[in-house]
Amino acid sequence: MADQIHGHEVMEMMMASGVAYTRSSLRAAIIDRFGEDARFYTCSAENMTAEELIEFLEERGKFVDHDGGFTTARDKVCNH
């Protein structure tokens, strides 16, 4: 299996962009940055697609409402 990308990298990408995302625009940004076949992992899940990662992050309250969409914040990134 190819290397997996930690979900924190997606959250860092979101913070660095300075834009608010929708689920659709975030999925497109993830695919543009990491590729269609990229798989992601977190502290408690692995081998997720971009869509699965977005759902995972949303369910865990990692998104912050912003300008009609959402972003994330430094305090939403766990440090382990």
78 in a structural domain: no
Strand partners, 25: none
In a domain, 79, yes or no: no
Q: What are the backbone dihedrals phi and psi of residue 3, each rounded to the nearest 5 degrees, phi first?
A: -60, 145
Whether 47 maps to a domain, the answer reads: yes
- Please write the tens of the pLDDT for every residue from 2-61: 689 999 999 999 999 999 999 999 999 999 999 999 999 998 999 999 999 999 999 999
Residue 9's domain spans which residues? Answer: 5-72
- Structural domain total, the chain: 1
Predicted local distance difference test score (pLDDT) of residue 1: 47
Cβ-Cβ contacts under 8 Å for 22 (sequence gap 6 or more): 69, 70
Residue 80 in any domain: the answer is no
In a domain, 15, yes or no: yes
Which one, of 31, 33, 39, 32, lies nearest residue 7 by Cα? 39
